[in-house]
């Protein structure tokens, strides 16, 4: 099968399309014929092997797993003998997360991994662009941030993948949502349901009188120290970005947990199937949709990585997979 391979950490040009062996499902696994996958900010970090500590997981000198791609949509091609939830032909979507390998014609996942039936109203492209951003926004807002109806919630980086889902989810949970993005994304963030949008190129929300119960930095471009004055007493700063701003977060989290007052929290996305099913229900109820910026064929993965690496994509960038056996 065709797959996008990287044998060393580096710029987008380390990615190559090659023929590799098609995976075979184990007894508890599902083999998926991938229709679409994505390039996320996290894929770019994994390709570069950054931050450096991530190489403890990814491979010290070079990547252990050679196929990138953390989310997908497609159809079940075959199932292992112990699989109960899926049958050949089921349209599915999901998140392979750190196991990656979705930038290929086929991927194998355990039945109990982040895998669910594709929401009926979504195209394969929309479904592929959904799991990572939506699961991350859900983990941070609901599980870590304990969002409550009526709260004032600010989403910083509201036009990215995680941010665009966070705006919609915060609204779904009944919060009053303020989104922060640049001028060209104001209309998009409004259309996702933000009651108020702040253009960070014109206005600094930390210098305004308005304060928030939750500030979710969905893109890793601000800090607790900067946002502290904009938090209400007891307010929470949620840090999700895997950027240079993450390193002070762990000591801040420990320190603010021990002291009263404003808190810092972080964590990592959880792809349990029940969570995907919950989000699928929201899609089917019309409360959640994927924002798609650009679509590239898998063969143009290098261009897609170059674009995502600019840090200014709007929502999601999708890769479509044309199958060599499309004539079947």
Ligand X SMILES: NC(=O)c1ccc[n+]([C@@H]2O[C@H](COP(=O)([O-])OP(=O)(O)OC[C@H]3O[C@@H](n4cnc5c(N)ncnc54)[C@H](OP(=O)(O)O)[C@@H]3O)[C@@H](O)[C@H]2O)c1
113 touches 93 (CB < 8 A): no
Pick the stretch among 37-45, 76-84, 122-130, 251-259 that binds ligand X (CB under 6 A): 37-45
Which residue shows structure tokens 């083999």? 31
Q: Which of 204, 169, 201 is nearest to 184 (CA)?
A: 201
Q: Angle at Cα 103 formed by Cα 106 and Cα 10, nearest 5°?
A: 145
* Residue 203 found at the interface with ligand X (CB under 6 A): no
Query: Shortest distance, CB of residue 313 to ligand X, whole angstroms?
Result: 5
User: Which one among 37, 73, 136, 290 touches ligand X, defined by CB under 6 A?
Assistant: 136
Pick the stretch among 80-88, 228-236, 272-280, 307-315 that binds ligand X (CB under 6 A): 307-315
In the region spanning residues 265 to 294, those forming contacts with ligand X, defined by CB under 6 A, are: 268-269
User: CB within 8 A of 216, min separation 6: which ones?
Assistant: 137, 140, 141, 145, 153, 154, 155, 156, 166, 170, 238, 240
User: Which one among 123, 182, 223, 300 touches ligand X, defined by CB under 6 A?
Assistant: 182
- Choose between 11 and 311: whose C-beta lies nearer to ligand X: 311
Report how many residues bind ligand X under the rule CB under 6 A.
Answer: 33
User: Which one among 240, 276, 283, 321 touches ligand X, defined by CB under 6 A?
Assistant: 240
114 touches 96 (CB < 8 A): yes
Instruction: Please state, in angstroms and rounded to a whole number, the distance separating the CA atoms of residues 89 and 251.
Output: 48
Instruction: Please state, in angstroms and rounded to a whole number, the distance separating the CA atoms of residues 36 and 301.
Output: 12
Sketch the per residue contact string, 55 through 94, with ligand X: x for CB under 6 A, - otherwise. ----------------------------------------
Across 72-90, b (16+ Cβ under 10 Å) vs e yields bbbebbbbbeebeebeeeb
* Residue 219 found at the interface with ligand X (CB under 6 A): yes
* Residue 42 found at the interface with ligand X (CB under 6 A): yes
Instruction: Please state, in angstroms and rounded to a whole number, the distance separating the CA atoms of residues 134 and 315.
Output: 11
- Choose between 76 and 279: whose C-beta lies nearer to ligand X: 279
* Residue 33 found at the interface with ligand X (CB under 6 A): no
* Residue 264 found at the interface with ligand X (CB under 6 A): no
- Interface residues with ligand X (CB under 6 A) are 40-42, 45, 132-133, 136, 156-157, 159-163, 180-182, 185, 200, 219-221, 240-243, 268-269, 308, 311-314
């Amino acid at each position: 099968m065709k797959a996008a391979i990287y044998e060393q950490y580096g710029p987008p040009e380390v990615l190559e399309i090659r023929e590799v062996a098609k995976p075979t499902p184990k007894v508890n696994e599902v083999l998926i014929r991938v229709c679409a996958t994505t390039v996320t900010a996290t894929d770019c970090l994994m390709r570069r092997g950054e931050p450096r500590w991530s190489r403890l997981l990814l491979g010290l000198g070079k990547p252990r797993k050679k196929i990138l791609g953390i989310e997908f949509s497609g159809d079940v091609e075959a199932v292992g003998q112990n699989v109960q939830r899926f049958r050949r032909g089921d349209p599915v979507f999901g998140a392979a997360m750190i196991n990656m390998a979705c930038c290929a014609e086929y991927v194998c996942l355990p039945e109990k991994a982040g895998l669910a039936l594709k929401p009926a109203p979504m195209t394969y492209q929309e479904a592929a662009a959904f799991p990572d951003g939506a699961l991350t926004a859900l983990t941070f807002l609901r599980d870590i941030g304990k969002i409550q109806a009526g709260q004032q919630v600010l989403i910083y980086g509201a036009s990215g993948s995680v941010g665009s889902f966070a705006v919609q989810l915060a609204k779904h949970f009944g919060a009053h949502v303020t989104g922060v993005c640049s001028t060209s994304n104001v209309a998009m963030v409004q259309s996702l349901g933000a009651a108020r949008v702040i253009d960070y190129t014109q206005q600094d929300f930390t210098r305004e009188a308005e304060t928030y119960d939750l500030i979710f930095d969905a893109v890793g471009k601000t800090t607790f120290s900067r946002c502290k004055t904009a938090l209400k007493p007891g307010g929470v700063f949620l840090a999700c970005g895997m950027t240079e701003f993450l390193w002070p977060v762990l000591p801040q989290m420990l320190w603010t947990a021990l002291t009263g007052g404003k808190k810092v929290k972080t964590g990592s996305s959880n792809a349990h199937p029940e969570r995907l099913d919950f989000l699928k229900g929201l899609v089917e109820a019309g409360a959640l949709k994927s924002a798609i910026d650009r679509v590239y064929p898998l063969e143009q993965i290098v261009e897609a990585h170059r674009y995502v690496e600019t840090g200014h994509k709007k929502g999601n960038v999708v890769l479509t997979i044309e199958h060599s056996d499309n004539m079947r």
